[in-house]
A and B are shown apart, each in its own frame.
Chain A
């Protein structure tokens, strides 16, 4: 711990007041990310986790969608946090000097105190003293009590003394106090005398300035729907149970076996929406479609499964790269059946009763039926929310309030991840960073008055040990020295941010940074700021875009720290985190100026695609786009009894533009509802391929259907046709799969749901050092775990530049990016990362091999110097060292000479 404290001071924060204190409840991905982000801003964090180890549900998963690989080593990355020895796999937990992790603990009281809370935490898990436990497991060996192992979804057993999983941190055993019989065998068996059965939990009180609720989610209990035979037939499992069944074999291949008789499972069915999109839980659980797809791909690609069928109402692949995962699944031979099965008939094999119009009812035998159970609030959320006076919604989740994803009804309490509703990891992480930003702002970010030697570091006490209780509350101390890291010079940080794009993402990012007391230059290409907030006229829920915009602009003005440059473009961008130089061009007069800044956020947004030439667009005045319809509705130009036909996925999910545009389904539902508001007798027909309204947006889809909007699913390969009638009007012709014949509908208005087209082009992206994917969206460092960071270290991205998003999501990403930017700006100097490679110019032949292998963009040819290393970009992988033919590059601590010596030493021992 001493080592990490020193490292924290060396790269320490220069916030010039004693640090505030934030409580994070929940240690899953969202909680860990929020804690790390708050700590990166120089504030102390106490993280309370109910289980014996952090990591949450994610520790039970071996591969992640959309990429279907692991990636758990990416999540604990921080912009300016602890260097690589402390960055580890998610399963191994978080190690940051400003974060105190309390496992087996819970919040028992919370009282308002000043702007924050005084919180009482019950610290449990003390029957085994973690200081004395050596993790040998002797206690588990002698323990006579066997209980179902929750980490294995109860499909295996564990002892009452256990470790949640092999990599669980802290690396000690815990006693399941409810299961323990207090027989005392383990007390005898423990070689280090660490066990004292019945040791009382400690109660600790701390004062916190803000609270982040990240307590995760639960899965719907399929026993509540007996028709699925779950619990009665061993070959009916939940999606999470399937994860644990395939966990041991999935990475390196193997055979999936039936649970009933151990025979290879050849036919597997996934049943979607078990406990979602029904009367009781009308919301969509948002994660199950992708989860099922991922599992189906694993079964087909890596295991022996012959058939993997997914039964779904809609395939809701709503997210970046998700449509590509759907395509990959089809390529692997996964079948999607648009039907909602009714039951499993138990027999020797589970028989799935499928009703699929127009084919009627049938029974399909499977080796394994996987129930994609929905998302429900976590156990204990009601009590937790009540402690902090936080409102919950009708389903029991924490109610969040616009704008963004993380605000709750209580002003010092923020929420992220599963507690806010169904939410997959990229949104848990973005929401966590947003919550961290808001919580840190509330706890007090004092701005950049630079004090040379100030370094925020908390004196951390182990709250488990009563004798070590510090004076409370825990506060950061100012230490009078900065430890110099060896190697390259630290970068002096310029205390200004550059935000590119003044839409919802850019504006919210700018505001967060400016309100933290830093200057921001906000660059916008068009004449007015606002972006989507200007061209959207209403939203599904939440205040109108124009109100949001006016509020944001007024607050920006009030900070006095924002330089807004409209009709300006960034034409060059160089440097590294902490010290960038941008060239800004004034578009009307062509004048250029240089701007020095320490952090950059790209929020260049997207526009509606112009579907010229499609469906008579441009040839008939009544063929318009959704945004044009929105404009007409706002201006009140729709009355009478019109027939409106909407066509979804124009310019999306097509061979030329395969990605889903994410926002068009909501846009269509929103406009359909608005039409019926204005003209109640209107007829609205929506021709779609899947209606993708994930999470609580399902309620709007439901509302539209109840209001009489007709939604017709068309087959993917049978798009509708728009024709001009003899009388000059329009008709739409489509094959109705239910009727099984073509239908012709006369239409007064044809509305095309044109996709989103990112504003940043390839040239613009390469000027900024960003990579674009095939759809023109910025590639992030890790789509799952680092959703607002670009592949080039330190560059941040938010909003539609990444992928199509709704307004609240864009604003959340903006704040998330702001948190990362402030982690850089809050430091006076950015120390080079330990592990960064070192370069000796004298021998460099400028061959450039190192530049090709470097994924971080840290190597660059400089005239007269050779292939220099940008130490702050270097990830320390050492690939360039291996690639260098002339030995100019080496890796301190892992230099070639040391490795060769080590090899000899290894071999000498034995000879």
Chain B
């Protein structure tokens, strides 16, 4: 299991978390290369289908990161994301996917180091969970 290298699809909001990822880059803070980053304007744009699609296509984890509560560029998008993803986590359990494969985190624009830490923590967490069973079954 120790050689398992998880693949994580990360949806980052344009204003805070993507900027933070950018900052981590320009500040040259190292973080694991396991993230596949997709930028959306707002976490409120994230359709639960995106998360299901990523998991069913074999992603070992999905990270959704957006602005801290109160900081959303569009006022309420991150609150909507929080509600939707909380619901989705319940459903993931029901269909046999460990809800811990889906992470929702708040990472502000000036928190490059937090972004890097979050990425590292998540890779570690998913590594413990092991590969996504859906990914293996479907790609076989």
- In the bound complex, CA of A170 to CA of B76 (Å): 31
CB distance from B132 to the nearest CB of A (A): 10
Establish whether residues A252 and B23, one from each chain, have CB atoms under 8 Å apart when the complex forms.
Answer: no
Establish whether residues B114 and A252, one from each chain, have CB atoms under 8 Å apart when the complex forms.
Answer: yes
- In the bound complex, CA of A856 to CA of B73 (Å): 12
- In the bound complex, CA of A853 to CA of B43 (Å): 13
Establish whether residues A894 and B70, one from each chain, have CB atoms under 8 Å apart when the complex forms.
Answer: no
Which of B92-100, B103-111, B122-130 touches A? B103-111
With an 8 A cutoff between CB atoms, is A89 at the interface?
yes
- In the bound complex, CA of A135 to CA of B26 (Å): 8
- In the bound complex, CA of A883 to CA of B19 (Å): 25
Mask: chain B, 18-54; 1 = CB below 8 Å from A; 0 = not: 0100110011100000001010111011110110011
Establish whether residues B109 and A73, one from each chain, have CB atoms under 8 Å apart when the complex forms.
Answer: yes
Mask: chain A, 851-895; 1 = CB below 8 Å from B; 0 = not: 001011000000000000000000111110111000000010010
CB distance from B136 to the nearest CB of A (A): 11
Interface size on B, residues (CB 8 A): 47
Mask: chain B, 56-95; 1 = CB below 8 Å from A; 0 = not: 0111000000011011011111001000100000000000
> Which residues of B sit under 8 angstroms from A89, Cβ to Cβ?
15, 19, 109
Closest to B25 in A: A166
- In the bound complex, CA of A883 to CA of B68 (Å): 21
> Which residues of B sit under 8 angstroms from A878, Cβ to Cβ?
40-42, 44-45
- In the bound complex, CA of A48 to CA of B53 (Å): 49
Which of A13-21, A64-72, A343-351, A633-641 touches B? A64-72
CB distance from B129 to the nearest CB of A (A): 17
B41 touches which of A88, A853, A894, A902 (Cβ 8 Å): A894
- In the bound complex, CA of A853 to CA of B27 (Å): 36
A137 touches which of B14, B28, B74 (Cβ 8 Å): B28
Closest to B39 in A: A894
Establish whether residues B9 and A879, one from each chain, have CB atoms under 8 Å apart when the complex forms.
Answer: no
- In the bound complex, CA of A835 to CA of B111 (Å): 26
B111 touches which of A251, A900, A903, A910 (Cβ 8 Å): A251
> Which residues of A sit under 8 angstroms from B113, Cβ to Cβ?
248
A167 touches which of B26, B41, B45, B47 (Cβ 8 Å): B26
- In the bound complex, CA of A73 to CA of B46 (Å): 20
CB distance from A463 to the nearest CB of B (A): 25
Interface size on A, residues (CB 8 A): 48
Establish whether residues A877 and B47, one from each chain, have CB atoms under 8 Å apart when the complex forms.
Answer: no
Establish whether residues B67 and A70, one from each chain, have CB atoms under 8 Å apart when the complex forms.
Answer: yes
With an 8 A cutoff between CB atoms, is A178 at the interface?
no
- In the bound complex, CA of A84 to CA of B22 (Å): 17
With an 8 A cutoff between CB atoms, is A731 at the interface?
no
Establish whether residues A894 and B68, one from each chain, have CB atoms under 8 Å apart when the complex forms.
Answer: no
Establish whether residues B54 and A903, one from each chain, have CB atoms under 8 Å apart when the complex forms.
Answer: yes
Closest to B70 in A: A69
> Which residues of B sit under 8 angstroms from A74, Cβ to Cβ?
73
- In the bound complex, CA of A578 to CA of B57 (Å): 46
- In the bound complex, CA of A84 to CA of B23 (Å): 19
- In the bound complex, CA of A74 to CA of B75 (Å): 11
A899 touches which of B36, B38, B71 (Cβ 8 Å): B38
**A879 with B42, Cβ < 8 A, contacts A903-B50, A907-B7, A907-B36 known:** yes
> Which residues of B sit under 8 angstroms from A167, Cβ to Cβ?
19, 22-23, 26, 109-110
- In the bound complex, CA of A902 to CA of B59 (Å): 13
> Which residues of B sit under 8 angstroms from A252, Cβ to Cβ?
68, 106, 108, 111, 114
- In the bound complex, CA of A877 to CA of B81 (Å): 12
> Which residues of B sit under 8 angstroms from A166, Cβ to Cβ?
23, 26-27, 110, 112
CB distance from B137 to the nearest CB of A (A): 14
With an 8 A cutoff between CB atoms, is A911 at the interface?
yes
Establish whether residues B77 and A877, one from each chain, have CB atoms under 8 Å apart when the complex forms.
Answer: yes
- In the bound complex, CA of A252 to CA of B23 (Å): 17
- In the bound complex, CA of A67 to CA of B108 (Å): 16
With an 8 A cutoff between CB atoms, is B139 at the interface?
yes
- In the bound complex, CA of A713 to CA of B55 (Å): 64
**A907 with B45, Cβ < 8 A, contacts A71-B71, A167-B26, A251-B110 known:** no
CB distance from B139 to the nearest CB of A (A): 6
**A900 with B74, Cβ < 8 A, contacts A166-B26, A166-B112, A879-B80 known:** no
Q: Tell which of B7, B16, B75 has the most Cβ of chain A within 10 Å.
A: B75
CB distance from B123 to the nearest CB of A (A): 13
> Which residues of B sit under 8 angstroms from A729, Cβ to Cβ?
none
CB distance from A901 to the nearest CB of B (A): 10
Establish whether residues B41 and A907, one from each chain, have CB atoms under 8 Å apart when the complex forms.
Answer: no
CB distance from A783 to the nearest CB of B (A): 12
CB distance from B88 to the nearest CB of A (A): 12
A906 touches which of B36, B46, B67 (Cβ 8 Å): B36
B76 touches which of A70, A855, A876, A896 (Cβ 8 Å): A855
> Which residues of B sit under 8 angstroms from A876, Cβ to Cβ?
41
> Which residues of A sit under 8 angstroms from B139, Cβ to Cβ?
911
Establish whether residues B45 and A877, one from each chain, have CB atoms under 8 Å apart when the complex forms.
Answer: yes
> Which residues of B sit under 8 angstroms from A894, Cβ to Cβ?
40-41, 45
Closest to B27 in A: A166
CB distance from B4 to the nearest CB of A (A): 12
A879 touches which of B38, B49, B77, B114 (Cβ 8 Å): B77
- In the bound complex, CA of A909 to CA of B37 (Å): 13
CB distance from B45 to the nearest CB of A (A): 3
Identify the B interface with A (CB < 8 A): 7, 9, 14-16, 19, 22-23, 26-28, 36, 38, 40-42, 44-47, 49-50, 53-54, 57-59, 67-68, 70-71, 73-77, 80, 84, 106, 108-114, 139
Q: A891-B45, A894-B45 are in contact. List 13 more A-B contacts (CB 8 A).
A: A62-B108, A70-B108, A73-B15, A84-B14, A166-B110, A167-B23, A251-B111, A252-B68, A877-B44, A877-B74, A877-B77, A899-B40, A910-B7
Identify the A interface with B (CB < 8 A): 62, 67-74, 84, 88-89, 91-92, 135, 137, 166-167, 171, 247-248, 251-252, 835, 853, 855-856, 875-879, 881-883, 891, 894, 896, 899-900, 902-904, 906-907, 909-911
The 6 tightest CB contacts between A and B, nearest first, are: A878-B45, A906-B36, A69-B70, A879-B44, A877-B74, A877-B42
Could you name 17 residue pairs across A and B whose Cβ atoms are closer than 8 Å?
A69-B70, A71-B71, A89-B19, A91-B109, A166-B23, A248-B113, A251-B108, A251-B114, A252-B114, A878-B44, A882-B47, A894-B41, A899-B47, A900-B50, A902-B38, A903-B59, A907-B54
